[in-house]
Chain A
Amino acid sequence: MKPLRIALTKGRLEKKTIELFEKLGYNCDEVHNKGRKLIMNIGDGEFEVVLAKAADVITYVEHGVCDLGVVGKDTILENGSSFYELLDLGFGKCRFALAGRKNVDFYHGYGSKTVATKYPNVTRKFFESKNMDVRVIKIEGSVELAPLVGLSDGIVDIVETGSTLKANNLEVKDYVTDISARLIANTASLKLRKHEIEDLVSKMEAVTINDNNSNS
């Protein structure tokens, strides 16, 4: 049988997912000693893991070259279109928030607002749902700078602890949505390899529910 191929988002989500696989009793030595390898085996050849940047995880899964993927909800909201979202894995938790300068009411006045962000689609959708026309400017890094130098009235970005905002005299004005890591599946794969995928999902589900209960 061909192994199920899983695309993982490089970095923290990758580590957490591998921990999850180890909890389920699969051997992940090859991932720990990956060297320069790009495709690694997990368990006794039941799974194959590839590592990719967040948005590429979605691309690989959508095209069906990977059956499953682990990716943040932020990336799904910004880039997602046609795949199945099977499970909230419960780790990689943070929030999308609208932030602006302290003590300034973002929504005040008739003038239309300018918002800087790394996530233009999320931003546009958020303001559409509020029936607001805003000018969205895409920024590639350190979005917090934009309102400080006067490029924008606010930013939409991922907020974890809020310490970067605080250090720059910014504050959260509104929460857009919660974010965590998700297990996604290719549409055709779920149909063609239903039993293997469902088996993995129910095992993962059992562990993540347990973890969440013990945390709270």
Chain B
Amino acid sequence: MSLTELTVTALAAALRARQASVPEVIEAYLARIAAVDPPINSFITVAADSARAAARAAQAELDGGHDRGPLHGVPIGLKDLIETAGIRTTGGSKILADHVPTEDAVVVARLKAAGAIVIGKTNTHEFAFGPTTDNPHTGRTRNPWNLECIPGGSSGGSGAAVAARLAPAALGTDTGGSIRVPAALCGTVGYKPSYGLSSRRGVFSLAWSTDTVGPLTRSVADAALITRAMAGYDAEDPGSWPGAHPDLTPPRAGRLDGVRVGIPQPLGQTPLHPEVGEAIERAIVTLQQLGATVEDVEIPATATAFDVWTTIVFSEAATYHERWLKERPQDYGPDVLYKLDVGQMLLATEYLKAQQHRAVLVAQCRAALQRCTVLLTPTTTAPAPRFNQDTVQTTAGPRTTRDALLAFPCPFNLCGFPALSLPCGLSSEGLPLAVHLVGGPMGDDALLRVAAALESALSPLPAPTHTPQT
């Protein structure tokens, strides 16, 4: 049994069956990181010493009959945007290169309380502000399926680490697709829970009104397990949801009779890379075979959502970064600095106009999701592009890489609705393809149920070709 091939769920079972000890699991992952990660560069910091100490303590608890649950003894990677007491947290930046927090972020504290072990901090696009994880300060993370390709971003280190079996799960943050895009390009599950389910306290912000913490995993069940452990109301996060939370119990795969899947229009007419289009058609047929009905639903505001999202996110980011922009502009990478400059130049009236159109989008999405159980789109327009590739090919010609990566995910950050990227095959070049499912308001339970059913009916991806077995 290769410990690093196990999902979180399988690893938990193996630990309880005494087929492995927690220190053995941690050593297996540390050895694999040392052997496999150098060309991928998914980790900024490997927390070997603290992980070993935590593993010994976790095993002692299990031996003493104290079982914290299914995450007990499970290693997890954390995007380096998420603060960890005593472990450097850089945000992928030069500005915070030496920042060592004194407290854990709330989500980290909750995962540790559930028994999870932090194995390291994963690379990110600088301050999470971009979809490539081509970082001038911490180096580029490469896609384990093809080292010449981007892993997506901004949680690209987390996506690459999970795909390459360097961690069974990792946390990311998603402001416009930053969990779902790397999940799609690296062939993992990426789950953006409903806005407000997971606390952002202790997580560097990109844009307060859309930032969400969530997991990248190798199964839908694992994504539910991790989110259930870290979710919960936090009075000190103003966006935290104080009402009843959806049931995040890992769903069982089953039939989807009675489920209605909506294809949002005009978003659904977006020209795609031909192999993405074929994969989405296969996913739709699979859903129908499971008993779901599939229909078009009109959400006209998706046509302009990308500019609305850009205006809101760039403005909020520039506000968050105001002090450093004035004091240390030279310490930003050029591709992040220009976006922050755009945010500084946008007018208050433009921000508010965008928020008006956001309100319209939310209302239209909510109406669509009163008819439908979930919405379905591709996660990205094309498989992983090469580094420095400005455009991707679609059936209607080239499209800018940024638009191709963010157009489908970002409207649903504006809504705050839950969304999940699920692998649905490989391209002829051996790159992952992914389907994107969106749930209704606080409809995480239904979203996870549909995703688990679809996952069980699709062929699982093999391990990436550029990750040798250890």
Partners in one complex: no
| B residues in contact (CB < 8 Å) with A | none
